Amino acid sequence: MTFKPTAFVWNTRCGSTSIGKFLGAHGALTSVPKEPFYFECGDEFDQKIDYYQQKYFASWRGQDVIVDCRPQLVMLPWAVPRVMSECPDARVVATLRDPVERCWSQYQLRYLYGLEKRSFDEVVSVGVHRASQYPDGSYLDDPDAETSWCASLTDEVIRFTWTDYYLEMGMYAVNLRRWLDAGMAREQFCIIDFAELSLPETAARILDHVGLPADPDAILPHHNSWRQLLPPGQDVPSMSSEARSALNDFYAPHDALLTSLLGWDKCPWQP
């Protein structure tokens, strides 16, 4: 039997850790460490699929469902042809949440780990300005983006990427369209509303989509909330009204594109 991933879990700060642990508990072989760099880092990809299997799936013994849990892959243009060449039929579980709240969650996690020193308002201002220079994509479409991105990768257990992609991860239509344009079929995607992760029917959909046996009692666990990192007694911080307004304005056209791309009647996080 030939090794190759059969499923991916995409979008950071959208429940990817919870989904990965859930699938691992229900019979899938999931990547260890959770987030492989194989498809996004040319130095690793050049070492071919055996290297990928030995480094991230060392316990593979012919399991049928093999899940790569690197959530950032969805937004990396250079990863698209690599994934499509190695596993064009793979299934994808992509969780989407209000991109404003997703951005805030990513900032808080990095801030509490000491990886971000700027204020959230500054992060938003810089991000909006940068994104305005790429009306049809993102800064990750630059020819040298892979080099700088891969130079920022760390092999720490948490697998942080030491670069700023707060706004880009929430540009869901831009990111998903790259894969659809490359030939990944809409049916290969299981699009999950983050607000519905805790529902039994959501757990059932995910199991069915990746090809695991049904479990009528399955419930997704909740892992990796940034609130768990708050010092005892510290209040949960709130986003400034200025930052929220700027992000709402920024994401409004992206949400409209997403609604059209996925054939929704309306965007679930819009009023």
What are the tens digits of pLDDT across the range 27-81? 999 999 999 999 999 999 999 999 999 999 999 999 999 999 999 999 999 999 9
Summarize the confidence of residues 19-24 as an average pLDDT: 95
**Confidence class of residue 89 from pLDDT cuts 50, 70 and 90?**
very high
Residues 6+ apart with CB under 8 A from 169: 11, 12, 13, 72, 74, 75, 99, 102, 103, 106, 175
Q: What is the reported pLDDT for 233?
A: 77
**Confidence class of residue 242 from pLDDT cuts 50, 70 and 90?**
very high
What count of Cα atoms within 13 Å lies in the side-chain half-sphere of residue 116?
A: 22
Triad 130, 8, 189: Cα angle to 5°:
85
Quote the mean pLDDT of the chain: 94
What class, spelled out in words, does domain 7-262 have in CATH? Answer: alpha beta
Q: What is the reported pLDDT for 39?
A: 98
> From the CB of residue 196, how many other CB atoms can be counted at a distance below 10 Å?
13
Residues 6+ apart with CB under 8 A from 260: 173
Reported as a single tens digit per residue, the pLDDT across 105-158 is 999 999 888 889 999 999 999 999 999 999 999 999 999 999 999 999 988 767
Q: Who has greater pLDDT, 175 or 162? A: 175
Distance CA 17, CA 36 (A): 13
- How do the domains of the chain map onto residue ranges? 7-262
Residues in the chain: 271
